[in-house]
Structures are given as C-alpha cells and as structure tokens.
Chains A and B, each alone.
Chain A
Amino acid sequence: MAALTHLQRLEAESIHIMREVVATCDKPVMLYSIGKDSAVMLHLAMKAFYPSKPPFPLLHVDTTWKFKEMISFRDEHAAALGLDLLVHINPEGLAQGIGPFSHGSAVHTDVMKTQGLKQALDKYQFDAAFGGARRDEEKSRAKERIFSFRSAQHRWDPKQQRPELWRLYNARKHKGESIRVFPLSNWTELDIWQYIYLEGIPIVPLYFAKERPVVSRDGTLIMVDDDRMPLAPGEKPMMKNVRFRTLGCYPLTGAIESIADTLPAIIQEMLLTKSSERQGRVIDHDSNASMERKKQEGYF
C-alpha cells in the first residue's frame, strides 16, 4: 500500500471538509474570487461531489474594479462547468461611485468587498461560505480555524472559536449565525501551484507573463486595465512583460516584471523570488495587525 503524498493528503482533507459542510449546513455557498486559490477550491468541489455537481452556487462579490480578463474567465468557466454563479455588487457603493482612486484603498475595500460580502450573505441567507484562504498567507491566519464562526453580525471573535480535533468538525450553529469554511487552510502557495500544474486546472491568463500596459505608482506597477486609471498629463502607459502573483482589483494589485509564461516557469520564479505573494497587495501595508482587524470586522 503506497503512502499518500502530501498533495494527495491535502486533496482528501479539503474534500472531506466540503462534504462535511454540505451534509450539515442548510445553505452553503462557495465564495469564488476567480484567483488561483478559488480555481483549486472549485476543482476540489467538482471532485468532492462527483458524479453529482457541487450542491451549492458560486458567489462572486464584484467591486466593478476587477481585471476585465477575470470577469470573462469567471463567466466562461462557470458556464463550462454548468454551475450556478451569483454576482453581487454593493448597490449603495455603486450608487455613491466608490472606487479605489476616488476613495482610497481602505474605504473601497471596506464598502465594496467587506460590506458587499455581508449584504450578499444576508440577502441569500447563506449559513456557510467556503473561502480559499490559506494559513500560510499571513501570520494571523496561522491560528484561524478551518470552520470559522461568525456572529449574526458577521463578526469574528478569536476567543470564541471552537477547537478542531482529529477530523471532527462541529458545524452546529444557531439561526442567523454562519460559518466561513476554509478547505485550503493547510495548503501553501507552492502546493497550490503544484496542484494546478499536476491537475491542469485552468487559471486566469493574467498569472502568465505577457506584454501589458502598466504605469508606476509609489514603486508598484499597476496595469492600465481600462480608462478609469487616472494618468498624469502626458503620461503614457509603458508596455512591459509582466504578470500577477495575486489577483484582485486592478488598481490595488501590483504586477511583477517577468517572462514566466508557463506553470513550471511561474513556480520556478516563485521559489526563487525574494518577496511573499502578499507584497503585491496594497491592503496589507496599512499596519502590522491590519488583517487581524479586518477579519474581526468581517473581511473574509
């Protein structure tokens, strides 16, 4: 009997977690952010319930500032898999014209992402939401449970989390309370890439290096994805060979210069690089404990 490899063990664990949620929760949903982690999570969901389809819809909380290629990938991919895709945009944020350029990254993220997510969960009355967060992403996540309980107000209380022993997850909750479930908790960035490579999982082309129009803002390369990008008088976007390590709102996502246009080349670059994947995310730079605070406020 061959011992399972670490990826086989991770895969089985994630599937186990998803099945447990489906068997014990009334109305689960999968938060689909279109990134590489979401791609892996969705792939695992297709496996977990085969030959059935995953018995839950996908939810994308759109901010209207995602890369265009993300949106087209999202729609094509969900249709190809035959899955139900829900898209929610915070209508109040939309009406107020909230955006990262006009309101800054903090307000934009809070209104369009955090508040938008709460609205969507309340609107559809989901009691469990799968998210693609991993514990290795950031220090405060290392202690996050796989089943993370949120009050009816969506607040996360680090003192009230339940111990998780063996493979025995306790998904019991009162009406109004919900759980965020992280099936990829034990995966690392390398595991994600390796699994995408091994399984041939489709990902948004923005992860692969290509010549793209970018401008430099505070030392970060920002792609000019549409004409909402404010340019200085006379400023012309530079054409550079770039790719993205993480995907989000284009004005908040830094590109890296790269020629890696295959998965092995991406993995090679990631392994040899000297900075962590979150460095490209503007939101993390606010303060040391910023993720911690955002999480308590209901950011995923």
Chain B
Amino acid sequence: MAHVSDLIEKDILGYLNAHQHKSLLRFITCGSVDDGKSTLIGRLLYDSKMIFEDQLAALESDSKKVGTQGGDIDFALLVDGLAAEREQGITIDVAYRYFSTERRKFIVADTPGHEQYTRNMVTGASTADLAVILIDARKGVLVQTRRHSYLVSLIGIRKVVLAVNKMDLVGYNRGIFEQIVAEYREFAAQIGLTDILAIPISGLRGDNITSSSTAMPWYQGPSLISHLETVEVEDQAAGTPFRMSVQWVNRPDLDFRGFSGMIASGAVHPGDKIKVLPSGKEAKVARIVTQGADLAEAVAGQSVTLTLDTEIDISRGDLLAHAASPPGVSDQFSTTVVWMSEEPLLPGRLYWMKIGAKLVAATVTDIKHKTNINTLERLAAKSLALNEIGAVNLSLDHPVAFDPYSENRETGGFILIDRLNNGTVGAGTIQFALRRAENIHWQAVDVNKHARAALNRQKACVLWFTGLSGAGKSTVANLVEKQLFAQGRHTYLLDGDNVRHGLNRDLGFTDADRVENIRRVAEVSKLMVDAGLIVLVSFISPFRAERRLARQLLEDGEFLEVYVSTPLSVAESRDPKGLYKKARAGEIKNFTGITSPYEPPENPEIIIDTDRMSPEDAAAFILAKLEERGLVPGIRADADTTPSA
C-alpha cells in the first residue's frame, strides 16, 4: 500500500501530519449493471494503492477463475462482496469503500443500478456530498441514467460528475462524448441539476482516472481523482442556522444536566440564545462540554454536550435552535416519500416517523400523486409500492420542529418505521408544513361542536360546492340553504364573491393567492363547523390540493364535496357576470377554465350536472343526500322542547 511512499519512508511524522488534516468527501457512484461501475471503483482502489499484495494475488487468481476480462485483472471482483452476488455477477446492496489520496479521504457508496433497487440508491445518496453518474459511451443517456439523476436531485445532492465510461470502446471519439454530454445537460437542467462536470474515462484502461489520458488529448479537464480531490463541496450545513436534536440527556449527578447531540447545522457558542422546539422555551448556552476541555465554538458535524444557564424542561427528540432563526413547528406536512417495503404504503395507516432523535406516530392522510421515476410523469395513486416515490401528506400525533429538506437535509429528512415488524419502510423529505402549529395552543373547551350541533338538532358539516364560474354553484347553494333554513336548521353560506369583498380582499387571482383564498375559507368553515353549523361553501376552488386541505381540516364524514359539473361551453354561454367575455378578450388574467386550470374532483360525495338538472332539482337531490347521511335528522314532535338550563 505504497501511496506517497516517498514521504512515508523519509518523513513519517510529516506524512501523519498531512494525513491528519485531510478532509473527507463522501460520494456515490450510480450506473446501470453494465456501465462498469464496480470496475471503476476497483480501479480507484487499485490506482490509489489501497490494495495489498495478498489481496492482489487473490484478485489475480479470482480473475482467472471467474473474471470477465479473459484472464486480465477484473477490478470488479475487488468490490463484489457477498457470496450470492458473486454468483449472480451483480452488486445487490449498498457497499461502502474507503480510499485516500494525498489530499483527501474518500468514502464511496457503491449503489446498484438495478431497477428494483431504488431504495438502495436513495440510502447511499442520503449521506453523499457528490454523485458520480456513469454512462456507457456506447449506449448514451439511458432511462436508468435519468432515473439515477432524478434520485440524486431528490435526495438533494447538487454536485454531479458525469463519467462517460468505456471511451476505449468508441475509439476515444470526441463527438460521441460531446453529444452525450449535451443530451445529459439538457435533461439534468429540467430536474435542477446544473453543477455538472463531464469526464470521458475508461475504468478498465485507466484513462482519466488518476491522470490525464494520452488517448484523449482533446479533453482538457481534470482527471476523475484530481476533480474529486479538489471539488469544493458546498457545505449546506455550515451556512444554515444552528440546529441540534437532543439525543440523550446527560445527568451524572444532581449538579450537571447536559444535552448531548450532534450539531445538525450552523455553529453554537457559549452565551448564544437558543430556543427549544416544540416547547418554544428559551435559554442561553452556558458551556459546550467535551472530555478534555470546554469549547468556545462547536460546528455542524460535531457531537457535543451543551449546558444551559437556566433549568428548562428538555428531553430526547427536542430540537435546540438559534433563538433568532428558529425552525418551523407543525404536525401536518407535505412530503416526498420513497417507499422501501414489500408491504405498500397506504393512506390511513399509522407508522412511526423518526426525524432527528424524535419519534412520533404519523398517518398518511393523502397520496397526492406518485412519480414515474423514468419519465418523471405524475400519476394518481392510492398506494405506494416498493421503490415507488410519491407526494404524501402526513399527519402526526405530536408537533415536531423541522426545516424544509431543501434548506436543511438534517432537519428535513425522516424515516418511516413499520409499527408491527419495526422495519424501516420509507424515507421522506419534508417539502412544507400544511399548517403551522408553533405558538398556538389549543384552548380546551367543554362545550364542543357535537354539543352545539345536537342542540341545533343537526350534525355540523361542510357542503363544499366546486365548479367553473357560471356552473350554478351559488344558485344551487342558495336554494339548499333556503330549504334547510325552512326546516329550522342552522346554516351559513360562504360565497366566493362575498368573502373576497371582506376577509380576502387582499388576495388576487394568482395561483398562490387562490391557494390562500381557499385556505382561509377552509379555516373559517372549520370554525363554523365547530360552532355546530351546516356550512355551505360556494367557491370555484379549482385545485384539488386545496380542496383536500379543506377536507383534512375536518373529521371524517364532515366534508361533502359537491361537484357542480357543467361543460365549459355551457358555463361560458351562460356567462351571468360577463366574465368569460372579458377573459376571452384578455381583460381578466388567470381565469379558471380559460387561462387557469380547473381540476375536477376525483371522488366527490355529490355530483350535480346543471346542464341536465334544474337548480331546484339539484337542491332537492342534495337535501336527499344529506338525509341519507343522517346529517339532518327529521324534525321530531318535541322539537320545540328547549333543553333545561
């Protein structure tokens, strides 16, 4: 193992000093089965002199016995470990390899390229700073290449090396290389990968691995190793505010109470004001305790023990954060989940969620879609199977502190654990909170919505009318309310136009404003349901996601989506407010159905077609549905009996 052997021989202390100060780069290699990935890693180990003679002798004898290189050294044999894999000739799991050069130490996650092993690649990528994506120069950008790149971007790796391998088999042809690179860059830009260095290599022959290849004088860039040695890994964790999840409360005696954990991001100093999440309590850091000496500063990646200047209640799983820039706290999240279990992910099922050192119960409230990782197409989904990736809403039994994954990999990534067999079944990243729970404590009340609704002899619910402008939502909703009122029910009609005159007068018609518009109305209707009312909401509400959000705010059976279905042409011909005409003339921007999409409900409780039904018939139809569901019990003979006070 004679790397930099001169220094080792002549000045071992000098060598040790240099080695001591080396930095660490963790990277993953991804490629499909035949891209020569194992060969490349074997070559990196071999060329960095990390192979001992006894291993080399074994390699040479194995190469003759089972090698695929006709008696030449088969580098792939150096890295194929498990007996079963050797027989199959493929890598089937994540393996970690180690080598160092004069400048850096490297940990390589060798991740498989097989279709069914998305989970392994995501696992290997989760700890990597950089990805080496291999392409067979003879085959160019394949479906697998796109898949691997998508997973790399999903897991938040920003630095990519595109290693176009097997250049020896295409005559070291520059045109082929450049064509592949151009095609790849175009695709990569679509998924947000822009920091890409493309290198033409041959893992088998060693071209552009440790030194520049003489076979490709047209390539002026660095060799693979020299790039890996020098690439600046943008340290996301260093630039973000201080975060530390408390792993363990260190309490050797009554006089010492320390909070142990690894700093997830940022830096901390004695005297810094910190906030404890989710409780929101604040204190100052007194000491950064390590064996030997207290520290004046601790940074991301260090395992430390902090003591505070005041005694506040902190336990395992709490997040310590810089008081001036605290993370969010929520119990409902929009997330991306990679499913890793044979048993599918199902909405409504309860899982354990581990985020930092916190373990909470999580329910999948909704699968918004799954992503076809080959085409990036979004597909409707009712479950996620092994190796599928989906946009999933989660609801937790306790609020947790978090940052969006795009801002902080440590505080935005989580795993899901099966509650029966304890397996790690999913990995997820938080996109954003569906609602923020910090600083709002629920006031416990004795009179609840069921009591109020019972007093009103009804069950509180929301009838959510959605449909195009001019479909007849308000007309029908108005008729329904009149009849309910006549029956002595307690109701309230929230109409889109009316609400926009008051509560939502600050909102326009951009997508973001439309989402906020609906969010506010959903919250208002929730309060009204709590007040025991039958609430009629008449809003275009064009996006499924927001209607789902409204649904999720309520209990099962309380939300009835009424799809007022009318063909666009019919609605446009009615045009009661003259809006379609203006939209067609370009006078109104973002008009639903014309210049902004309408997403029809997938499973509405009630559908009415106002093209074929009169408003009166539609109202009667809806009332019948309410009765069917037991929401409006018949008025009893003793209906006017007032409850005793």
Contact = CB atoms under 8 A, between A and B. Distances in A.
B20 interface: yes
A47 B291 contact: yes
A49 B247 CA distance: 11
Contacts of A8: 301-302
Given A158-B82, A174-B422, A267 B123 contact: no
B262 A16 contact: yes
A165 interface: yes
Contact of B316 (A12, A23, A264): A23
A166 B82 contact: no
A274 B424 contact: no
Contacts of B356: 168
Interface string B111-142: 00000000110110011000000000000000
A125 interface: no
A167 B21 CA distance: 24
Contact of B100 (A15, A190, A279): A190
Contact of B22 (A5, A198, A273): A5
Interface string B217-260: 00000000000000000010010000000011011100010101
A20 B2 contact: no
Interface in A1-45: 1-13, 15-16, 19-20, 22-23
B8 interface: yes
A166 B127 contact: yes
Contacts of B5: 271-272
A232 to B, nearest CB: 28
A167 B55 CA distance: 32
Interface string B249-280: 01110001010111000010000000000000
A292 B357 contact: no
B409 A166 contact: yes
A216 interface: no
A51 B250 CA distance: 8
Nearest to B415: A168
Contacts of A10: 24
Given A12-B302, A16-B262, A272-B2, A267 B12 contact: yes
Interface stretch (A71-79, A98-106, A111-119, A137-145): A137-145
Contacts of B15: 268, 271
Which range contains the number of B residues in contact with the other chain?
A: 35 or more
Nearest to B427: A165
A173 B299 CA distance: 33
A135 interface: yes
Contacts of A135: 96, 98
A133 to B, nearest CB: 13
Contact of B24 (A2, A6, A19, A272): A6
A62 to B, nearest CB: 29
A136 interface: yes
Given A1-B267, A16-B247, A143-B95, A165 B20 contact: no
A194 B16 contact: yes
A268 B13 CA distance: 9
B484 interface: no
B159 interface: no
A52 interface: yes
Contacts of A51: 250, 252, 256, 258, 289, 291
Contacts of A20: 247, 357
A265 B105 CA distance: 22
A4 B299 contact: yes
A47 B126 CA distance: 27
A104 B517 CA distance: 79
Given A135-B98, A166-B410, A172-B417, A142 B291 contact: no
A128 to B, nearest CB: 14
A198 B356 CA distance: 31
A23 B356 CA distance: 13
A84 interface: no
B83 interface: yes
Contact of B8 (A268, A274, A275): A268
A265 B16 CA distance: 11
B302 to A, nearest CB: 5
B247 to A, nearest CB: 5
B64 to A, nearest CB: 14
A167 B409 CA distance: 10
Contacts of B448: none
Contacts of B410: 166-167
Interface in B339-355: 340, 352, 354-355
B124 to A, nearest CB: 9
Q: Which of A2, A11, A49 has the most CB of B within 10 A?
A: A49
B414 interface: yes
B303 interface: yes
Give the interface centre of A50, A53, A279, A293 by most chain B CB atoms within 10 Å. Answer: A50
Contacts of A52: 250-252
Contacts of B557: none
B126 A166 contact: yes
DSSP majority for the A interface?
A: helix
Given A143-B81, A167-B262, A174-B422, A186 B413 contact: no
A72 B260 CA distance: 34
A50 B289 contact: yes
The secondary-structure label for the interface of chain B is mixed
B354 A140 contact: no
A197 B13 CA distance: 11
B302 A140 contact: no
Given A140-B82, A163-B120, A267-B12, A1 B299 contact: yes
B53 interface: yes
Given A16-B303, A167-B410, A172-B422, A23 B120 contact: no
A68 interface: no
B12 A264 contact: yes
A191 B107 CA distance: 13
B158 interface: no
B185 interface: no
B290 interface: yes
A153 interface: no
Contacts of A190: 19, 100
Nearest to A46: B291
A111 B424 CA distance: 34
Given A167-B410, A276-B52, A47 B8 contact: no
Contacts of B354: 168, 170
B107 A186 contact: yes
B235 A3 contact: yes
Contact of B424 (A142, A163, A191, A289): A163
Contacts of B256: 51
A140 B97 CA distance: 11
Of A47, A48, A50, A142, which is in contact with the most chain B CB atoms at under 10 Å from its CB?
Answer: A142
A281 to B, nearest CB: 12
Contact of A267 (B16, B126, B305, B417): B16
B424 A170 contact: yes
B583 to A, nearest CB: 48
Given A135-B96, A167-B410, A172-B422, A140 B81 contact: yes
Given A47-B290, A271-B2, A272-B2, A22 B248 contact: yes
Interface of A: 1-13, 15-16, 19-20, 22-23, 46-53, 135-136, 139-143, 158, 162-168, 170, 172-174, 185-186, 188, 190-191, 194, 197-198, 264-265, 267-268, 270-276, 279, 288-289, 292-293
Given A166-B415, A276-B52, 9 more contacts: A5-B22, A15-B262, A16-B261, A46-B291, A51-B291, A135-B98, A186-B107, A198-B20, A273-B1
20 contacts: A1-B238, A5-B22, A6-B22, A11-B303, A12-B303, A16-B303, A19-B248, A135-B96, A139-B81, A142-B97, A158-B82, A158-B93, A163-B120, A163-B427, A166-B410, A166-B413, A167-B262, A188-B98, A190-B19, A271-B2
5 shortest interchain CB distances as A-B pairs? A6-B24, A274-B53, A15-B303, A50-B291, A289-B83
